[in-house]
């Protein structure tokens, strides 16, 4: 028989993402509505190992749904990647009476959750990352806000690029994945989009495209470059030398991770956070919450971590067709 869950721990881990606060709020309030206790764990697995654990009430999550970042703070913790660190983490959970933990983060954080589950602590992962790179789910908390933030910034760069008749290379985040870049490519109407999943490193093709567009009378040339390709500044120098068109690189960086979450992120975070609590209360463990084909779902963490995903071929083709 599944053990009864009385106390639920919650932590955020890896890169922060807008909407994490909405997820924390949902976990706390759903759990309390079911008569459970909640313990907040600060600074991800690092805080777990340091026993930075405190009781959370419904008031602790008041006035946070609209705030970016995470009130629990987040961290990357090397010690927790070791068997000794994981054992210590499980013992600390038991010491604090934590029967189940909800981990809000990305793939790496889910690997940590998987290890805790193996050591007898019930765990549920909630996908929180701006990168959208978690294979088992179509949606990750933070993506919508980040992509809108990047899109607005790129619109602004485009204004000045047009005024100066320049080429602009704009680098967006995404780690090894090109989802943010692809969405900005289409939404900003970029002339070229360089994705780690697709780019063939044919810089001469970019140069030819810029020269052709100049001949056609285009006043700007926007290249969205994904972080997974990087090197935007050196690329800008080479492109300027080869085309004679003034070229600037802008790396959007961490501004993409901040800011008030969009309605979509608040909504997804609230539903996924609450669902994670419901799963724990139903005796489930080693599961990841996600969204597939518009429906809320959950899946075994081992299965989820074995999956891979890539940018959509059709969307990429359309992105190329519309940029001509």
**Catalytic residue set:** 131
Give all strands (DSSP E) within the chain, no chain letters: 7-12, 37-41, 53-56, 100-105, 122-127, 167-172, 192-194, 221-226, 247-251, 287-292, 295-300
Nearer to ligand ADP, 70 or 262 (CB): 70
In the complex, the smallest distance separating the C-beta of residue 84 from ligand F6P, rounded to whole angstroms, is 24
Stretch that binds ligand ADP, among 101-109, 216-224, 233-241, 286-294 (CB under 6 A): 101-109
Beta partners for residue 84, in sequence order? none
Residues 26-55 that bind ligand ADP (CB under 6 A): 45
Based on CB atoms, which residue is closest to ligand F6P, 99 or 227? 227
| Interface positions with ligand F6P (CB under 6 A) | 15, 106, 129-131, 173-175, 227, 257
- 112: closest CA among 183, 9, 248, 26? 9
Cα angle 30, 131, 74; round to 5: 55
The terminus-to-terminus CA distance of the chain in angstroms comes to 61
With beta carbons less than 8 A apart as the criterion, state whether 141 and 127 touch: yes
CA-wise closest residue to 11 among 101, 127, 117, 111: 101
Site for ligand ADP contains 288 (CB under 6 A) = no
The reply to whether 100 sits near ligand ADP by the rule CB under 6 A is no
User: Is 142 near ligand ADP (CB under 6 A)?
Assistant: no
CB of 129 to ligand F6P, least distance (A): 5
Is residue 169 within 8 Å of 236, Cβ to Cβ? yes
Strand 167-172 relative to strand 221-226, pairing: parallel
Beta carbon of residue 248, minimum distance to ligand ADP (angstroms, whole number): 30
User: What is the rounded (10 degree) CA torsion for 166, 221, 194, 145?
Assistant: 90
Q: Which of ligand F6P, ligand ADP, none lies near 77, with the C-beta cut-off 5 to 8 A by kind?
A: ligand ADP
Tokens for 170, please give them: 């704009």
Rg value, the chain, Cα: 22
Both tokens assigned to 221: 């040339």
Residues 111-130 that bind ligand ADP (CB under 6 A): 111-112, 115, 129
Among 81, 187, 209, 310, binds ligand ADP (CB under 6 A): 81
Interface with ligand ADP, residue 14, by CB under 6 A: yes
CA distance 84 to 281: 28
Query: Is residue 15 a contact residue for ligand ADP (CB under 6 A)?
Result: yes
Cα–Cα distance between 157 and 285 in angstroms, integer? 46
Binder of ligand ADP out of 9, 40, 47, 105 (CB under 6 A): 105
| Residue with nearest beta carbon to ligand ADP | 108
- What residues from 58 to 77 belong to the interface with ligand ADP (CB under 6 A)? 76-77
Q: Choose from ligand F6P, ligand ADP, none: what does 173 bind? Cβ within 5-8 Å by kind.
A: ligand F6P
Using CA atoms, how far residue 68 sits from 60, 108, 209, 292, in Å, is 16, 21, 39, 25
109 contacts which partner out of ligand ADP, ligand F6P, none, CB within 5 to 8 A by kind? Answer: ligand ADP
CB of 131 to ligand F6P, least distance (A): 5
* Dist CA 191 CA 320 (whole Å): 8
Interface map 175-194 toward ligand ADP (x if CB under 6 A): --------------------
Among 106, 142, 174, 290, binds ligand ADP (CB under 6 A): 106
Q: Could you tell me the strand order of the sheet in which 167-172 lies?
A: 192-194, 221-226, 167-172, 247-251
For binding to ligand ADP (CB under 6 A), which residues are involved?
13-15, 45, 76-77, 80-81, 105-109, 111-112, 115, 129
């Amino acid at each position: 028989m599944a053990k009864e869950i009385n106390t639920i721990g919650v932590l955020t881990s890896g890169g922060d993402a807008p909407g994490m606060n909405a997820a924390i709020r949902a976990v706390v309030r759903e759990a309390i509505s079911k008569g459970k206790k909640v313990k907040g764990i600060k600074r991800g697995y690092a805080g777990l190992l340091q026993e930075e654990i405190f009781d959370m009430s419904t008031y602790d999550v008041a006035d946070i749904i609209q705030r970016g970042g995470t009130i629990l703070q987040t961290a990357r913790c090397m010690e927790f990647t070791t068997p000794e660190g994981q054992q210590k983490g499980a013992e600390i959970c038991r010491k604090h009476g934590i029967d189940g933990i909800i981990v809000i983060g990305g793939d790496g954080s889910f690997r940590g959750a998987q290890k805790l589950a193996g050591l007898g602590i019930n765990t549920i992962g909630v996908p929180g990352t701006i990168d959208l790179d978690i294979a088992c789910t179509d949606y990750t908390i933070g993506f919508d806000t980040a992509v809108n933030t990047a899109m607005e910034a790129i619109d602004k760069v485009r204004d000045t690029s047009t005024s100066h008749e320049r080429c602009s290379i704009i680098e967006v985040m995404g780690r090894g994945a090109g989802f943010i870049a692809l969405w900005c490519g289409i939404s900003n109407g970029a002339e070229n989009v360089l994705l780690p999943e697709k780019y063939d490193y044919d810089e001469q093709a970019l140069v030819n495209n810029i020269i052709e567009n100049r001949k056609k009378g285009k006043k700007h040339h926007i290249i969205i470059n994904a972080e997974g390709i990087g090197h935007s500044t050196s690329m800008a120098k080479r492109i300027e030398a080869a085309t004679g068109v003034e070229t600037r690189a802008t790396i959007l960086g961490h501004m993409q991770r901040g800011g008030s979450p969009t309605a979509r992120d608040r909504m997804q975070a609230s539903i996924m956070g609450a669902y994670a609590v419901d799963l724990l209360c139903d005796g489930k463990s080693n599961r990841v919450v996600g969204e597939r084909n518009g429906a809320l779902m959950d899946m075994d963490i081992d299965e989820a971590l074995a999956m891979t995903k890539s940018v959509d071929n059709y969307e990429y083709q359309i992105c190329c067709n519309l940029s001509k």
